[in-house]
Amino acid sequence: MSITKYIETQPLYNITKYKSKMDYANCAVSFTGSARKHPYDQEKLLLISDPFSSHTIFYEFRIQDIVHYEDLPGIATDTGENLLMVKLWINKGSLGLKYEPFEVDDPIRYMNDSELLHQILKESDIHKP
């Protein structure tokens, strides 16, 4: 039997697209950034939210709390340095740490409240190579 006979005699079926993504928003929260190994704890990782910004925020999560991850397009600098970016879906109710710069004062001042912090970070951007 020829190949043409197979094509002609077989009924055509509609192809159903397989949904490979779960709806993670029901059970998890997404965070995007560049993932790094934790400096001293193998069961955790650091996520740098905006790596080339002057007000970068670091997140720390336990690896077991990651429900899913997605690769995102990387970020390249003028010097050719490339950072891989990911979207991590972290289980709702799990604990994470957020590291962000602040000015020690009474009360503590964060980025949007601190003129001093804005000035320091602005000057550090000027001095970058």
Per-residue pLDDT of the chain (129 residues; tens, 9 = 90+): 555 554 555 555 555 555 556 788 889 999 999 999 988 999 999 999 888 776 778 999 999 999 998 889 888 877 877 888 999 999 999 999 998 877 787 777 776 666 776 676 666 554 444
Distance from C-alpha of 29 to C-alpha of 50, rounded to nearest angstrom = 17
> Using an 8 Å Cβ cutoff, are 28 and 90 in contact?
yes
Domain presence at residue 92: yes
* Domain count for the chain: 1
At 26 the three-state DSSP class reads helix
Domain presence at residue 13: no
Domain presence at residue 3: no
Q: Domain span at residue 80?
A: 20-101
Domain presence at residue 93: yes
